[in-house]
Structure 1
Amino acid sequence: MTKKEIIIQAATELFTEKGYRETTTSDIRKKAKVAQGTLFYHFANKEGILLHIFSSIINSQLEAIKFFPSNEGTGMEALIKYAQFCNDLRREEGSTLVFVLPNFVPSLLYQHEETKKIFLEFFDTSIAQVEYLIKRGIEDGSIREMDPHTTAHFFIATSIGIDRHMTLTIAPTPNLFPTYLNFMKKALAPEAT
């Protein structure tokens, strides 16, 4: 592993164990067993490490969704499979998302052009994929007539909202994903079921 990778691994472990705010760059440096100059050579500050972790998650998920087999089954079946696929990707990140989501401030994107570019590509790709699946469903009759673009945004926004709620709430919360899927199936179905 490179020094940069060691720093990222140490930071990820500390952010997960202690929390992002409670972890100092000194803690990260000590756990990574690197000099202060080495840490600051790779990252200007703790936010830089968080941005790198966020970018890595988004980049990894972007590569995965680009290869989703979107032509299998009906549009509705493919859309439900896509939602499950994305849910599985997010679950794989598990504890990393627990510290990234509450500490990630969208204004950080405007400070780091490369991260902003990756995030926008991920978002645009997700919307385009869902919009395509909705259009397919409308064409094959498995999804009722509606505006695919607006519906794709709603589909993604609802999923993000559920993720944030499930990750950030301290109260016991049931798994909302099955209810989300059921709600979307009923909302998109050609006739009320």
Structure 2
Amino acid sequence: MTEYDAFKELLESDDQEQLTPKQQQIVQAAIEMFSEKGYASTSTSEIAKRAGVAEGTIFRHYKTKKDLLLAIVSPVITKLAVPFIAQSFVKQVFKEGEHEDFEELLRTILVNRFEFAKKNVPLLKIVLQEVAFHPELQDRYKEVFRAEVLPHFERFISHYQEQGLIKDYPTETVLRLVITTVIGFLVTRFIIMPDGEWDDEAEIDRTIDYILNGLQV
């Protein structure tokens, strides 16, 4: 699956209006170049050259280079990264009556995020590169995360703490420790050292063990 195929699958899964052939060429080229060079270092003329279109064609579809970036990144964050967590992820991970064991929940979270990252490395790389520089993307992520994910996580953490399974840390602290460890693993695995000699199953086990040793009573 190419970078654009993953993006196209995202749009189709959300019943978005289909892109024209020219838009497909532009978006494919932009995804490749933003992933390789970053948004700031990529010019619209370079995108046009790789896409095999005139630079003016880009501006007929997207008024500015930032509009093109947002056309790519916004769906990835708001309709894949966030709702994948906030909807599909919640349904898969935060099921009522399941995951009585904290280790089981951690494994479900980590495997779920691992498969997502593995499938969407170039798009994930663009999100990680650009979200820090675009407040509108940050605001959308925080809005959905706080509304859809945090309440479920709080419920589970309260349950585990009442059962004496994990330390009585504030929910925000538990969330931070889990998220930073999981994201650190995924970023290292797929972006920083993608060509390393990885034993993925063993690394997942070690990551879970590390979190458990820090949080279990």
TM over 0.5: yes
Distance 1:122 1:173 in 2: 36
Aligned length: 184
Residue pair 1:8, 1:53 contacting (<8 A) in 2 also = yes
Are residues 128 and 5 of structure 1, via their aligned partners in 2, closer, same or farther at CA, if it must alter by over 3 Å?
farther
Are residues 155 and 29 of structure 1, via their aligned partners in 2, closer, same or farther at CA, if it must alter by over 3 Å?
same
1:93 to 113, 120, 125: 120
The offset of 1:183, in angstroms, is 0.9
2:15 matched residue in structure 1: none
The offset of 1:23, in angstroms, is 4.4
1:117 matched residue in structure 2: 139
The offset of 1:154, in angstroms, is 2.4
RMSD of aligned residue pairs (Cα, Å)? 3.1
Q: Does 2:59 correspond to 1:32?
A: no
Are residues 182 and 45 of structure 1, via their aligned partners in 2, closer, same or farther at CA, if it must alter by over 3 Å?
farther
Distance 2:170 2:73 in 1: 31
Residue pair 2:73, 2:126 contacting (<8 A) in 1 also = no
Q: Does 2:188 correspond to 1:161?
A: no
Deviations 1:132-159 (A, max 9, x none): 3222322344434332222112222333
Residue identity over aligned pairs, in percent, reads 26
Are residues 139 and 5 of structure 1, via their aligned partners in 2, closer, same or farther at CA, if it must alter by over 3 Å?
farther
Q: TM-score, normalised by structure 1?
A: 0.73
State the AA in 2 paired with 1:93: N
1:19 matched residue in structure 2: 37
Question: Which residues in structure 2 correspond to 1:59-138 (within 5 Å)?
Answer: 59-65=79-85, 66-67=87-88, 68-69=90-91, 70=94, 71=96, 72-74=98-100, 76=102, 77-101=104-128, 103-104=129-130, 106-109=132-135, 113=136, 115-124=137-146, 125-138=148-161
Distance 1:168 1:99 in 2: 14
- The alignment partner of 2:134 has SS state of helix
Structure 1: stretches of 5+ with no match in the other structure? none
Are residues 168 and 105 of structure 1, via their aligned partners in 2, closer, same or farther at CA, if it must alter by over 3 Å?
farther
Are residues 173 and 135 of structure 1, via their aligned partners in 2, closer, same or farther at CA, if it must alter by over 3 Å?
farther
